[in-house]
Structures are given as C-alpha cells and as structure tokens.
Chain A
Amino acid sequence: MIKKSQRKLNIGFSLVMVLFFLLLLQISPRLAWLFVLSLALGFTLQKSRLCFAASFRDPWLVGSTKLTEALIIILLICIPGFAIVYHFFTVCNIPIALNVTPFGIHTFIGGILFGIGMVLAGGCASGTLMRVGEGFAMQMIALVGLIIGAFLGKVSLPYWLQIFHEFPAVFLPNIMGWVPAVITQLLILLLIWQLIRRWQRKRKELT
C-alpha cells in the first residue's frame, strides 16, 4: 500500500471551489456565503468524525455515549444561541423564521422510521451527505434512497393528515416565556447528560 501526497488534487480542487464561489457571488452574495458555510460544515463533520446516527445508535449497540454527549454540547450552545439571534432580529425588525413545525402522531412515526433508516443506511441525513463526499459507495446508494423516500413521504403526507390530527406548532417560549423555556430545555439536557455519565460509570464498575 502506498501513501502519496494529494497536494495537486488539493490545489486543483481548491481553485475550482474559489471559482465557483466567485461565480455564485455574481448571482447572489447570500448564496455564495451560505455555500462557504456549508463547505465549512462538511469540513468540520469530516474532521471530527461526528455522526448523529451514532449518537442515537451506539448507546444501544456498543454502549458508547461519546457522540451522544457531543450532540448535547451542540444543543446546549444552540438553544440559547438561537434564542439570542431570534430576539435580536425581531427587535431590529429583520425577518427570521425558526424551525417550529406542526406535529402529530405521524411525526412520531416519522421519527421512528428515520431512526431505523439511519442505522440501516450507516448514517443520518448529514452523515449520508458527508460520506458521499468522503467517497463511500454505500452512502451514495443511501442518498438515492433519501431522494426516493422524500418523494414517497411528500405524496403520502396528505393521507397521514387524514388519519392523524396535526397539532399546530408549539413554540415553547409562547407557552412559558423565553427565559423559562430556554432554562427548562437546558436543564433537561444537563439532566440527560448526568444520567448518561452515571450509566457509564455503572457500566465501568461492572466490567
């Protein structure tokens, strides 16, 4: 097995990316910067080997919770982060929309299907895209599946809504106010983190 530097490929690819960025800049600066951000997201995911599928799957399969804890860290930062940005934008009258979606029993079913699917496919939605970039044939097939599944989901949603009532979106700050909502969610996450730590300690004592 040989190991050679891929510097030429690196330089070539970097040039293409810069050109693409400049091209996008002509069309819309917003698109260009979002493209750069997503490059950074893909880069970060690959370098840190973060995998949300593993966050949910590894506790059951191998007893490892490192990635579950990583997900909790992200949420601990983003919940107050989103709250601050939302507040700031609203005060400055800049339009902003958060992901507050309606839900019903079909939402829960969708989550179960998604959980099963990501374990079988070897990655979640972001993990699949990341591994397509890494060159995995398996996730390229999973991406095809994602596209097919999205189509099937979209056309079958009306039937689900006929069977199950969809509750209007529940924005927690509307129910309990901003500060209590943020603090409650953070406390829940910290509690889960503590429980995970305790579970790990118990497992270590048993072996």
Chain B
Amino acid sequence: MATYYLDIWGEMCPIPIIKTQRKLKELKCGDTLVLETDHSCTSRALVVWAQEHGHKVKEEEVANGIWRIELTKMR
C-alpha cells in the first residue's frame, strides 16, 4: 500500500500517460501513484485512461488550473 510520486510537471501530452503506464507496471496492486499537472488535456486523459484500465482514480483541482491525480493500481 505504498504511495509514489511521479513528476510529470510541464510535460506535454501524451508523455505523462506513457510515463504513468511504465511506472504503473512496477507498482504492486493497491499502490497509489500521485501526479500533478497544469495541463487540462493531460489531467483529463489520465483520468479516462485509468478508468478504461480499471484503476481507481481521484482527480482534484488543488489550485487555479492545477490538478492533482491519485491513481490506485487495481489490476
């Protein structure tokens, strides 16, 4: 049940998703990955991707135009 932080700050779409996919492979089921981005497209794409692949995802706008995503690996 570990929590990891992945730095995707300022990376353009779709690099954050690629990095997330790769990082998620290393994680165990139940682990959580935390990401922050100021890119609306990226935030949305991450949420959609996570839902498509059956992972639990929580998205929160923590500041004006900055999103924080918590992805929990489920499979």
Contact = CB atoms under 8 A, between A and B. Distances in A.
B36 to A, nearest CB: 9
A4 to B, nearest CB: 7
A58 B64 CA distance: 27
A66 B41 CA distance: 13
A6 B65 CA distance: 11
Q: Is the interface of B mostly helix, strand, loop or mixed?
A: mixed
Contacts of A138: 12
Interface stretch (A17-25, A49-57, A74-82, A166-174): A49-57
A interface, over-half SS = loop
Contacts of A4: 64
Contact of A58 (B12, B14, B44): B14
Interface residues of B, number: 22
Interface string A107-132: 00000000000000010000000000
B6 to A, nearest CB: 15
B21 A46 contact: no
A3 B48 contact: no
Given A62-B21, A64-B48, A51 B13 contact: yes
Interface in A123-175: 134-136, 138
B34 to A, nearest CB: 14
Contact of B12 (A1, A64, A122): A122
Nearest to A4: B64
8 contacts: A2-B63, A3-B63, A51-B13, A51-B41, A54-B45, A62-B18, A66-B52, A138-B12
Interface of A: 1-4, 6, 46, 49, 51, 54, 57-58, 61-62, 64, 66, 122, 134-136, 138, 207
Question: Can you list the 9 inter-chain pairs with the closest CB atoms, starting with the nearest?
Answer: A1-B63, A122-B12, A49-B44, A62-B17, A49-B41, A3-B63, A61-B14, A62-B14, A1-B62
